[in-house]
Chains A and B, each alone.
Chain A
């Protein structure tokens, strides 16, 4: 009997330990102390078994609210990027979290940000995270760093060689991350692991971020079933997606291979046009549910001095608009061969004709088979169907600069001088399970969406899609001595190919202080190793 109990207990422990030993994210920033308005550089090692293709890195305040964040494509189980720290951030401890949509384990790194207008608080104490479940990393002392001196002059060249032991080289799974940056004296930020509520029934972000939300009935406040949600992205050929909501009223759109900031418009409406709907977009989970613990910590005079110097340097860089990073162009997205509403039957260029004051005149004079009338101040639009030998009874799909609009009042006052092109489709068009009784696509000469007003059922936003790749700007050759070089990060190689001998060089800036060279990597068993070496610039 006892033996059976023992076996069961062992089995249970084995399974539990398996669950606990799961790989976690490795999250690194270039520095620990920042001033608002600066750029924070990031590197993430992603667990090998991660199914998501996108990792989110968020900047969270001490109350658990997401301030800003980025999404990066995971390539070879790693990602790197940057966060522009808003100028308005108040001084305090912030958390960087790396997470995916489906992984309930997140890695959190503490950073301290000083507002560049107010600096450190007058009191000598600050709140710091006091989490206990710290991310364990293994120092690998066998890594040799040759040629890195103890002390450098400002604007001096440093040439160094990293020798990786062959024992380690066979174990390294991914690229190495190497950085040389200034350190804040007496302040070492901590990285810890947190578990959030289990993420079940989540869609996996494979090729792009997923935009989710719920559609509710404005009157009852209940989730609305069979609501139609449109997502449109204005482009050369406008992009369009739709979703028909289920009983829970939820919708989601996967935005594949979109990079940078993209303008999108989301609209929701009742198919039977009886109810007014409200769109509620989901936000990424913050740490509110599992907020980290904080404790008081004393600011050292050295740290205060370093922060003040840092703020001065940031202000200088901002005044002279020194760009720290160069954003690389994102991969070219193959454009669609034709618009989502099909190849038009007619294309009319109204601005080439005489000045017509409104759309009624344009439809009468220029648009074959399009009837736009405004009897009793209620505008109607119909398209002639050659197959029916009559006009469609229903309103066609009307697009204004690629964005569907059901409100005809937004087009009724458009004159021929404002419109560059009108595309007309006379046939009944199908797009998935949607039917459009004809299409009238109006493209204004000036591509703006000001005519479409935001409301509960129409949301316009600039969405942060996948962040494009960046490289750290190195000093321009023969930079004049009277030009200040205030770089705090001297070297940033987030994806360095591991080799037996790696040669690196960098140039020190005009910043005097203590710097650290750090190498991070990941071995086959998922553990993260590091090696660091300090030097001084005076």
Chain B
């Protein structure tokens, strides 16, 4: 009985003391970023897909001021080069204002984090574009995931139109701009001096990297980057 009373007194005293010390409440975030955008108007239905990811995937957006919002359902429209998010409160698909974003990222079906960055493209059809960052650094490897609505064989699409991927790859360095690159070995080698090309070939051979597709190209790029070979832009 006495020990129970003592325990009660202890708990009571600790409670009183802690209530005296307690003052600071957990801060609430009143500066949560506000997503601004327009209503998403569905694209005409043709063969192929206008989206990079057909379903909404969990992702994060970064605003111009550097603030971030995560746990958003995101879908990238390759056709219009716009990021669509699903607002669960309004049950609406919203095209986020491109001008308000620095970039976005989402985790794809394979569990890979896909990072996109808004950059101004100065070449043909200049303007702000979302580029997927395949490899980041002083010299970045970027992909512009464009999908075109193009004519096609009626055997493929009855309407004679289909969404067809037309991806462009660029080597980019701030101040130097963009240099287009193709996903093959020769194009990669062309970005190096004659002197370094042999070295690149040797490194790729040593690391047993065969460029056959985009992922092997990125792998080759990263291997070369690790070895610090200067890229010719």
Residues of A within 8 A of B (CB): 1, 4-5, 8, 11-12, 15-16, 18-20, 22, 49, 51, 102-104, 198-204, 206-207, 210, 241, 252-254, 256, 334, 337-338, 340, 342-343, 387, 427-433, 435
The chain B residue sitting closest to A340, CB to CB, is: B36
| Contact yes or no, B28 A430, CB < 8 A | no
- Pair B31/A428 contact, Cβ less than 8 Å: no
User: Nearest A residue to B27 by beta-carbon distance?
Assistant: A204
Do A204 and B28 touch (CB < 8 A)? yes
In the complex the two chains form, what is the Cα distance from A342 to B98 in whole Å? 10
Given contacts A15-B18, A429-B38, A430-B87, 6 further A-B contacts (CB under 8 A): A1-B2, A12-B13, A15-B13, A51-B24, A198-B23, A199-B25
Instruction: Tell me if B230 is interfacial: C-beta within 8 Å of chain A.
Output: no
Task: State whether A8 touches B10 (Cβ < 8 A).
Answer: yes
Nearest Cβ in chain A — how far from B149, in angstroms?
Answer: 18
Given contacts A16-B17, A210-B30, A337-B100, contact A430 B35 (CB under 8 A): yes
Q: Could you say which residues of chain A place their CB within 8 Å of the CB of B21? A: 15, 18-19, 22
The answer to whether the Cβ of B54 comes within 8 Å of any Cβ in the partner chain is: no
Closest CB in chain B relative to A202 CB, distance in Å = 6
Of B88-96, B171-179, B186-194, B203-211, the segment with at least 4 beta carbons within 8 Å of chain A is B88-96
Whole-angstrom distance from the CB of B151 to the nearest CB of chain A? 25
Known: A4-B6, A429-B38, A430-B94. A253 touches B24 (CB 8 A): no
Closest Cβ–Cβ distance, residue A435 to chain B (whole Å): 7
In the docked arrangement, what's the CA distance between A120 and B2, Å? 66
Chain B 18-53 interface mask (CB, 8 Å, partner A; 1/0): 101111110110110011111101000000000000
Residue tally, chain B, CB below 8 Å to A: 36
Interface residues of B (CB under 8 A from A): 2, 6, 9-10, 13-14, 16-18, 20-25, 27-28, 30-31, 34-39, 41, 64-65, 87, 89-90, 92, 94, 97, 99-100
Chain B residues with CB below 8 A from A11, complex form:
13-14
Looking at A1, A16, A207, A430, which has the most chain B CB atoms within 10 Å of its CB? A430
Known: A19-B17, A435-B92. A51 touches B27 (CB 8 A): yes
Could you name 16 residue pairs across A and B whose Cβ atoms are closer than 8 Å? A8-B9, A15-B13, A15-B18, A19-B17, A20-B20, A22-B21, A203-B28, A203-B30, A206-B27, A241-B34, A253-B30, A340-B34, A429-B38, A430-B35, A430-B90, A435-B90
CB of B27 within 8 A of CB of A432, answer: no
- Per a CB cutoff under 8 Å, which of A199, A201, A254, A342 touches B97? A342
Chain A contacts for B17, CB-based, 8 A: 12, 15-16, 18-19
A256 B31 Cβ-Cβ under 8 A:
yes
Q: Can you list the 5 inter-chain pairs with the closest CB atoms, starting with the nearest?
A: A15-B17, A428-B39, A19-B20, A254-B30, A204-B27
Please, how many angstroms separate the alpha-carbon atoms of A427 and B95 in the complex?
11
Name the B residues within 8 Å of A343 (CB-CB).
97, 99
Please determine whether A432 and B35 come into contact, CB atoms closer than 8 angstroms.
yes
Q: Tell me the nearest residue of chain B to A51, going by C-beta.
A: B24
Q: Is the CB of A338 within 8 A of B39?
A: no
